Amino acid sequence: MSASSRPRRPTVEDVAAVAGVSRGTVSRVLNGGHYVSPDAAAAVQRAIRKTGYVVNQHARSLVTQRSDSVAFILSEPQERLFEDPNFNVLLRSCTQELAERDITLLLTIAGTQADRQRVGRWVTAGHVDGVLLVSEHAGSPLIDELRSRGLPIVACGRPIGHEREISYVAADDRDGARQMVSYLRSRGRRTIGIITGPLDTPGGVDRLAGYRDVIGEPDPRLVGTGDYSQASGEAAMDDLLRRAPDLDAVFVCSDLMALGAVSALHHAGKRIPDDVAVGGFDDSKAALTSTPSLTTIRQDFTRVSAEMVRLLLATIGTENRSAVTLPTDLIIRNST
Amino acid sequence: MSASSRPRRPTVEDVAAVAGVSRGTVSRVLNGGHYVSPDAAAAVQRAIRKTGYVVNQHARSLVTQRSDSVAFILSEPQERLFEDPNFNVLLRSCTQELAERDITLLLTIAGTQADRQRVGRWVTAGHVDGVLLVSEHAGSPLIDELRSRGLPIVACGRPIGHEREISYVAADDRDGARQMVSYLRSRGRRTIGIITGPLDTPGGVDRLAGYRDVIGEPDPRLVGTGDYSQASGEAAMDDLLRRAPDLDAVFVCSDLMALGAVSALHHAGKRIPDDVAVGGFDDSKAALTSTPSLTTIRQDFTRVSAEMVRLLLATIGTENRSAVTLPTDLIIRNST
DNA sequence: TCCCACACTGTGAGCGCTCCCAGAATCACT
DNA sequence: AGTGATTCTGGGAGCGCTCACAGTGTGGGA
């Protein structure tokens, strides 16, 4: 009954029989067609179409020891994924970049500790040949687990505490921050605050470092921290205004937080950029469409994706790690 | 060199040797531990830990003919995913629901035609035991391809044109629309417009049908169409106001579009709800936090997810299809 | 005492595929 | 005609696992 409704899938053997050739020849056709006569190849192609044959990936992977898929692991509570437009670009570009090489990208969300364990087991069970790691906070045990299995990994952004162990691709956060703060200075701003991201992420520490490069040791009144969400940006701005009512510019380390900061400034009756200039980071769509449009720093996530994929595929098979840092660009708009 | 840096993974045989038992016993421990003596089981567990053994999923799948994963296929340009909060809930709940049964969910995005082909091949190569299909527009060929392979499918929302072929779980869109429009009527509104979703989606046609159930054959001036995006809601509302300046209520078929409609109404100088009452659909977070808060229809996507998973797992192994329609609830807030 | 049920264990077979090697056929030169 | 290179083909082996089955040992009931 079940056998009649779901018939046995055709195998290479079946295709071979229909095509009048052997298993080996069918396999050769399936894998590039070298050393196969045109006649045989055509017969096999016909037989594949006729039988509706599709390769059994498990059988193939069992012998080749590779799965032709890579995991895109997001170890972050899921909401962030949907709030942050950067993930969007990153995910799309990586998928694209891999599809061109006939490799499938599998998105896996490992928000909770339990998730991370499950994902760890799943990944090491052979499902993927490598891992793209996104937004891994410092000290997560997942990296160690994956490394102990010898799995190729490429991280997006500097993996704090693991810089010398795993490959990564990062935009030049520090230089971007320097560019922004220097620019604000050059426009005559003197009391420049900062709203950083979480300080266990590279975007948090490196952008703060860039700010310091220009400002020097900052007045603690001028430093606030958010978690990249709009709400946290608004709260941090409120705090900053309370502590330092005299500030005339603020560098907010993400556009989304900058949007929050803008509305906090509005509520406080400040004009932008007349009273307070606001600089963001990311060059997200929101930065362009907001009122006023946001001066920001562009990170080229399409290039980041391409580099990540290139690096991962290079890492699969060899054992070297490397790091790439891509430039960031200042985009000047109306908020400064 | 490569052999020394990435040592051969331990196999059941290795574990068996360390534990001093046979292959079969290790396998039995791995699969529930029935008919294994406590001593043997303990020895195997110790050996697993010592060797760092992880099952080779490909070898297992090859013999069991199942992969213990299911695909979550999103055949929609990717941006929608990130705009629509419903996807978020759906994805999270399904992952959760499946994880409890030790099944992995693989998210796959098939936005373009080429993607859909790749995904079709990938799915039929045995990577997954079943498919959760989300937001499949009418007439997509993916459904036919998957069906011809005998793959268990459960759709989210009524799959237009395939209702009798594949299982699905849907919220009661039509009744939700009826509730909303009846409610607007009961509040004394007489000229009630509608902004529908795309009319090749069940959410598009069914909510319009519910509106008709209450209104009867509608004045074409009162019917606008959007694509669920905020921008399209705003545009459709502008149109509606131009064509029917006298309307005193509008039922907008998604909260996101309703937000757009609200801003269009504001620009036109209309007060909400005094001049025009606005009803949404989805009960998204935005509906709650917007000004004014939005009267809307709740769809319980957590329950939808649970039902989808239940149905899919039931379908895997049997050949029956079924359909579940879950109730929708009116949530009254300040916009009406 | 014998016998059968029951708990437990080891082993052969085989899932569907690719890799490798031996051999056949073809061709170009000696 | 003989030799060697080159192209092509078939089939054995084996990837790591589970399943079925045969076999061993133990205990309880006739």
User: For chain B, what is the total number of helices (H) and then of strands (E)?
Assistant: 15, 12
B29 touches strand C (CB under 7 A): no
Helix (H, G, I), strand (E, B) or coil at B326: strand
pLDDT at position B315, please?
Answer: 85
User: Would the CB atoms of A62 and B58 count as touching at under 8 Å?
Assistant: yes
* Residues contacting residue A38 through CB under 8 Å, at least 6 positions apart: none
* pLDDT category of residue A77 using cuts at 50, 70 and 90: low
pLDDT at position B322, please?
Answer: 67
Segment A125-140, tens digit of pLDDT = 889 999 999 876 656 7
Distance CA B261, CA B252 (A): 8
A13 touches strand C (CB under 7 A): yes
Q: What is the mean pLDDT of residues A173-188?
A: 94
Cis peptide upstream of residue B327 (ω within 30 degrees of 0): no
A183: pLDDT strictly greater than 80:
yes
Amino acid, res. B265 = L
| Protein residues with Cβ atoms closer than 7 angstroms to any atom of nucleic acid strand D | A 20-25, 27-28, 35-40, 59, 62-63; B 8-9, 11-13, 23-24, 26-27, 30-31, 53, 55-56, 59-60, 62-64
A286: pLDDT strictly greater than 80:
no
Question: Closest by alpha carbon to B180, among B197, B194, B165?
Answer: B194
**Best mutation site among A57, A105, A289 for testing chain B: the one with the most B CBs within 10 Å?**
A57
Q: Are B183 and B336 in contact, with CB atoms under 8 Å apart?
A: yes
User: Would the CB atoms of A91 and B78 count as touching at under 8 Å?
Assistant: yes
- DSSP assignment of B125-160 equals III-SEEEEESPPTT-HHHHHHHHTT--EEEES--T
Phi, psi of A325 (to 5 degrees): -120, 125
Please list every residue in chain A whose beta carbon sits closer than 8 Å to the beta carbon of residue B122: 104
User: Would the CB atoms of B58 and A58 count as touching at under 8 Å?
Assistant: yes
- A1 by Cβ neighbours in 10 Å (0-12 / 13-18 / 19+) ranks as exposed
Count of C-beta atoms within a 10 Å radius of residue A139:
11
State the smallest CA–CA distance between residue A221 and chain B in angstroms.
31
Break chain B into its structural domains and give their ranges: 2-55, 69-171+301-326, 173-299
Count of C-beta atoms within a 10 Å radius of residue A291:
10
Does A124 contact B at CB distance below 8 Å? yes
Distance CA B166, CA B146 (A): 10
A7: pLDDT strictly greater than 80:
no
pLDDT at position B63, please?
Answer: 94
Question: Closest by alpha carbon to A177, among A199, A202, A201, A209?
Answer: A209
The CATH code for residues B69-171+301-326 is 3.40.50.2300
Q: Are B110 and B72 in contact, with CB atoms under 8 Å apart?
A: no
pLDDT at position B320, please?
Answer: 61
- CATH 1.10.260.40 corresponds to the domain A2-55: yes
Which residue reads 């009116």 in tokens? B330
What are the per-10-residue average pLDDT scores of chain B (336 residues)? 56 95 94 90 95 94 91 74 70 86 83 79 89 74 83 89 88 93 94 94 92 94 92 95 95 92 93 93 81 89 92 77 76 79
- Structural domain B173-299, CATH architecture: 3-Layer(aba) Sandwich (3.40)
Q: What is the mean pLDDT of residues A30-41?
A: 90
pLDDT at position A224, please?
Answer: 96
- A171 CA from C16 C1′ (Å): 45
B69-171+301-326 and B173-299, same CATH topology: yes
Amino acid, res. A88 = N
Q: Are A106 and B95 in contact, with CB atoms under 8 Å apart?
A: no
Over the Cα atoms of chain A, what is R_g? Answer: 26
Does A275 contact B at CB distance below 8 Å? no
* pLDDT category of residue A5 using cuts at 50, 70 and 90: very low
On the CB side of A277, CA atoms within 13 Å amount to 23
Count of C-beta atoms within a 10 Å radius of residue B305:
23
B26 touches strand C (CB under 7 A): no
Distance CA A252, CA B220 (A): 48
Distance CA A249, CA A195 (A): 11
pLDDT at position B316, please?
Answer: 82
Q: What is the DSSP letter of B219?
A: P
Segment A78-121, tens digit of pLDDT = 565 555 667 778 888 898 888 888 888 888 877 777 778 888 88
Helices marked H in B53-197: 57-64, 78-83, 85-99, 113-122, 141-148, 173-186
* pLDDT category of residue A4 using cuts at 50, 70 and 90: very low
Phi, psi of A192 (to 5 degrees): -105, 115
Distance CA A200, CA A202 (A): 7
